[in-house]
Amino acid sequence: MTAGVTGRVRDAVASAGADRDHGRGWWVVTGQECRDLWVSGRGPGLVFAFSLVLSVMTYLAGTSQVLNFLEQREAVNLTLQVAVAVGVLVTLVVSADAISGERERGTLESLLLAPISRRAIIVGKMAAALSLWLAAFVVSVPYLWVLARGVSIVGRALLLGLLVGTLLAVALAALGLLISAVSSSNKVSLAASLFLLFALFAPTQLPGGAPKGWFGEVLVRLNPVDAALHYLTAVLVNGHAWTRDLSYLVSPLVTAVLAGGVLIAVGTRIVRLQTGVSGR
């Protein structure tokens, strides 16, 4: 965000009459952050890259389906998993830049001087980052429709993707904001966030999947990404009822609640001009 954009956030908050007591400033921050994300070209560029990845994935899944390498439900599930994975990836990248990037560009001071609480700044930045996930999901709709038509799971796949993807996006956006707030530089924040994402997604790409037995089951359930993708497979491919495997969503839900709770609880101390937690 440029200094001029940050100044407009401050002016917008002031003109709207928002203050620390009424809690309306987060909406102003969200609006300005979304305009900065989408008008600057970062958002459209990331969504375009997402559409290219999804196009290649859909083509490969469709080709494998024609060659009988994949059953149609498996092709839909594979494409949906890629859509969720890449969608939350771009959400994490944006949130990882949200605070450390402002600090490094020298624009955080102007934002902190605006008549708005630091919790409102956090909420606004998270909402803006989540707008990227929602845009990615909208882009994935026609791809899933093409693959899922004929097996009557279009509605189920879209609703599953929206619910599970949003839960994961909230969890990873909150983690990205936490990392961004305590990182010494923007490079450190982005590197740490991408390393975290790699650590979460790596088990899903292991040959043969996770280790078998009770130990493998525990690993799957503790990993919010692996657990969420397992839930998608159980419902779409295995035909399980939605409620049968809800326990797999405990891990992403707990991650979202804990990370979001920490942000709200210590947000006033970690959103500051210098890294670290202040006692003031």
pLDDT digits (tens, 9 = 90+) for 183-236: 988 899 999 998 988 888 776 665 555 556 767 788 888 899 989 999 999 999
Q: Is the pLDDT of residue 52 over 90?
A: yes
Q: How confident is the model at residue 280 (pLDDT cuts 50, 70, 90)?
A: very low
Flag whether 119 is in a domain.
Answer: yes
Closest by alpha carbon to 89, among 129, 56, 120? 129
Report pTM.
0.83
Helical spans, DSSP H, in the chain: 3-16, 25-39, 42-66, 72-97, 100-105, 108-112, 118-148, 154-182, 186-201, 213-222, 224-236, 250-270
Taking residues 41-45, report their average pLDDT: 89
Which residue is associated with the tokens 């440029």?
2
The pLDDT confidence band at residue 15, using thresholds 50, 70 and 90, is very low
**Rg of the chain over CA atoms, in angstroms?**
20
Residue 22: pLDDT over 70: no
Q: Is residue 144 part of a domain?
A: yes
| pLDDT greater than 80 at residue 99 | yes
- What's the distance, CA 155 to chain centroid? 22
Q: Grade residue 178 by pLDDT with cuts at 50, 70 and 90.
A: very high
Residue 120 CA, chain-centre distance (Å), reads 19
Which pLDDT score is estimated for 65? 62
User: 278 in a domain, yes or no?
Assistant: no
Q: Please tell me the predicted confidence (pLDDT) of residue 17.
A: 41
**What is the predicted pLDDT for the residue at 255?**
94
Structural domain includes residue 102: yes
Neighbours of 32 (CB within 10 A): 22
| Domain tally, the chain | 1
Domain range enclosing 244: 3-16+23-270
| Mean pLDDT of the chain, nearest integer | 82
Confidence band for 58, pLDDT divided at 50, 70 and 90: confident
Among 21-30, 32-41, 134-143, the range with the most confident prediction by mean pLDDT is: 134-143
276, part of any domain? no
Position 26 pLDDT exceeds 90: no
**In a domain? residue 73:** yes
Contact call for residues 99 and 125 (beta carbons, < 8 A): yes
Q: What percent of the chain has pLDDT over 70?
A: 82
Residue 277 lies in a domain: no
Give the mean pLDDT of 113-122: 86
In a domain, 275, yes or no: no
